[in-house]
Chain A
Amino acid sequence: MLEVKNICAGYGGIQVLWDVSLEVKKGELVALVGANGAGKSTLLKTVAGLLRQSSGEIVFEAKPIEKLPAHAVVARGLALVPEGRRVFPYMTVRENLEMGAYSVKGAEQVQQSLERVFGLFPKLRERQKQLAGTFSGGEQQMLVIGRALMSEPRFLMLDEPSLGLQPSIVANVFESLKILHGQGVTILLVEQNVRKSLEIAQRGYVLEHGRVAMAGDSKSLLADEGVRRAYLGI
């Protein structure tokens, strides 16, 4: 479904990604883990079209997307939940969600997506008229995931959804990811919470200093001596 081939990218003059390749197949839930500054967010931004790679290819559903701007990538069915719970703070919950369906045409379809998101996060339905900026961290995280789902993506990328959340809410977030995956959405999950993400993922990649250091199915990664020492604190 998504193939990243030999991507090099960075900001200004500073290169962050070096020859990164990765693949996510339809229906998979893949975790991308690594230390702070390893280049995980950079990779997601490059795939989403927010950053331009200096070389390499990105293929989504057999079509190259590396030259598309961000809004066109969304229209292809690939959505990103950016890091840091980037809600539109001065818009209501409902407006936030409607913005998520920006590239969707037809009011009926938007209504359907809305119902689906409200089904997943019932709290959002109760508070649709509230300004998003007044939400707590966990609620905002649900809102941005919900917003990304509004475009009915077939492929969802999440950047650190659990960062800075209370443990109980983290569990909620991961729970909803499992449900989504169950509904057939392909997911690429970037996390610092290595154990939890590898537990729900089927496969995983480890990014170190902008390069893919390790790849494999989650169980073997969780069992790997190096991963355990570096990320699991064992």
Chain B
Amino acid sequence: MSSQTLQAKSRRNPLVTLIILAVVLVVMVLVPQVFSGYITYVAVLAMLFAVLAGSYDILTGYTGPLTFCHGAFYGIGAYTSALLTLKAGFPFWVAFPVSGAAVFLFGALIGYPALRLRGHYFAVTTFFFAHFVYLVILNSVGLTSGPLGLGGIKPPEGFLGINFAGLKASYYLVFIYGVIVIVALWLFIRSGVGKLLVTIRENEELSEAIGVNTSFYKVLAFSIGAGVAGLTGSLFAHFFRLLHPTTFAWMTSEMVVIMSLVGGLGTLIGPIIGAGIVTLILELMRFAPELRLIIWSVALIAILIIEPRGLMGLVQRIRGGRK
């Protein structure tokens, strides 16, 4: 297990880290000012995926089990939030935390029985769970409009003169949300609970032997990941304002897994960068409609061959090599 996941060992000078971080943040802030609405739009989607991948890392990277249903939680969050505002008339700022909490609870409900399953049994079961959620969204026509798509979703209510209907404002909203969530996840990982999760990943039996309630912490990690995905989904719903089941089909869950693995599981920063890289590759290929997904899957296999531990594994190896 330890060979598949990396520990984030910071051997670098903290000042250098800080400078890199600052530069990245400044660049991110400038994106909507410098680039076109297309790039800003793609960047918003990439940031949403980055948050998804980061939250996914809490469960799969830090706690161990592989899952394929993150896209489903994202979708449940999106639909919950949209329906709360459309049908029950809640403002976004109420629907947003409520849908996060709802998906958190839902994650606990699913995670509790499912996490008893072993290895890939669990992984493949989550895959089917995701597909089932897709079917429910697709077929509950009365509630979700199913394949007709759910339109007319309002942007988040503005305040202090900010109007979130525009693309730039949405970008900054998602950006701030992303930064807050990532920092929160980072703090969580460094907390006592986060360290416990890593212990469970490294040796579950041993953790049990020393009296850790491993299933509780696994369900906790699962639910936190789900909750963040739900929040992110809610934000997506009010950014995109049109929901369709295909947006949350199994490929979305797969994308999250792929981004995380490309970046490097168990590093938090890896999956976030992975989201950026994957988005970039797919966007660069946009000019070749029929070849796009072929090149993409070949590139994915090539990346796995080059370094199964993802980008962060590559970084670590290069650094280790120089030492």
8 Å CB contacts to A: which residues of B1-55?
2-3
Cβ proximity bits A1-38 to B, threshold 8 Å, 1 near / 0 not: 00000000000111000000000000000000000000
Q: How far is the CA of A13 from the CA of B316 in the complex (A)?
A: 13
Q: Which residues of chain A are within 8 angstroms of B3 by Cβ–Cβ distance?
A: 12-13
Closest Cβ of chain B to A11, distance in Å, is 9
Q: How far is the CA of A12 from the CA of B2 in the complex (A)?
A: 7
8 Å CB contacts to A: which residues of B92-137?
none
**Is chain A's binding surface mostly helix, strand, loop or mixed?**
loop
A interface residues, how many (CB within 8 angstroms) = 3
Q: Which residues of chain B are within 8 angstroms of A13 by Cβ–Cβ distance?
A: 2-3
Smallest CB gap from B3: residue in A: A12
Q: Which residues of chain B are within 8 angstroms of A14 by Cβ–Cβ distance?
A: 2
Q: How far is the CA of A90 from the CA of B2 in the complex (A)?
A: 31
Smallest CB gap from A12: residue in B: B3
8 Å CB contacts to B: which residues of A30-71?
none
Smallest CB gap from B1: residue in A: A12
Q: How far is the CA of A228 from the CA of B2 in the complex (A)?
A: 37
Closest Cβ of chain B to A10, distance in Å, is 11
Closest Cβ of chain B to A84, distance in Å, is 14
Smallest CB gap from B2: residue in A: A12
Closest Cβ of chain B to A8, distance in Å, is 18
Q: Which residues of chain A are within 8 angstroms of B2 by Cβ–Cβ distance?
A: 12-14
Smallest CB gap from B4: residue in A: A12
Closest Cβ of chain B to A9, distance in Å, is 15
Q: How far is the CA of A145 from the CA of B3 in the complex (A)?
A: 33
Closest Cβ of chain B to A96, distance in Å, is 25
Q: How far is the CA of A10 from the CA of B2 in the complex (A)?
A: 13
| Pairs across A and B, CB under 8 Å, 5 listed | A12-B2, A12-B3, A13-B2, A13-B3, A14-B2
Closest 5 CB pairs of A and B: A12-B3, A12-B2, A13-B2, A13-B3, A14-B2
